[in-house]
Amino acid sequence: MRLLLAAASLVLLSAASALGWTDFSGNWVLDRHASSSSDPMLKRLGVSWIERKLADAIELESTYTQTPSLLTIHTRGPAFGRTEVIRIDGQPETKEEKLTGPYTIRTEWIDRETKLVSTISFYTKDGRDAELSVVRELADGGKTLLLTQTLKVSGESEPWITRRVWRKP
């Protein structure tokens, strides 16, 4: 039975490689100079001035661990740590976050499994429907992780966009 399970796991991993799924696994360091400021988006979300300034100033590192069905992201910095576990099967999942309260997230592959898109639906502090789209993709032969966040708020004409550039150390 164990041999059968091991063989099945190997087939699944081989299929993932054959399909060309992008693998984000590894250690990443935020390149603050190449990244855009998150201040405008965080301000719209009601984050305090000091928290916004810290968000753009602290050195962050992330470790990504990916399987065919899960992406786990451990992000850390001075006096900061956060772990996200994201299902990548396209099914909606309800979670809760300090900043937004309850939200629904759905993550799926697009562009022939080269981009991983998380769509997060929630209510802003002023009660408006909001949707945050997070697109992850690799560049520079896998040495750079581009993370583009687009926030759309009901009743507002322009989206809020932040681009974060992460590099392999």
Determine the pLDDT at residue 68: 93
> Residue 55 — very low, low, confident or very high, per pLDDT cuts 50/70/90?
confident
Half-sphere exposure of 84 (CA within 13 A, CB side): 17
Determine the pLDDT at residue 16: 42
- What's the whole-model pTM score? 0.85
The pLDDT > 70 percentage for the chain reads 88
Enumerate the domain spans of the chain: 22-167
Q: Which of 15-19, 76-80, 108-112 has the lowest mean pLDDT?
A: 15-19
What value does the mean pLDDT take over residues 26-30? Answer: 98
Give the architecture-level CATH label for domain 22-167: Beta Barrel (2.40)
> For residues 97 and 106, which has the higher predicted lDDT (pLDDT)?
106
- CB atoms inside a 10 Å sphere around CB 77: 16
What value does the mean pLDDT take over residues 86-105? Answer: 92
pLDDT tens, residue by residue, 64-78 = 999 999 999 999 999
3-state DSSP of 7-19? HHHHHHHHHHHHH
> Rounded to whole angstroms, what are the CA distances from 134 to 6, 9, 18, 100, 106?
34, 29, 25, 15, 10
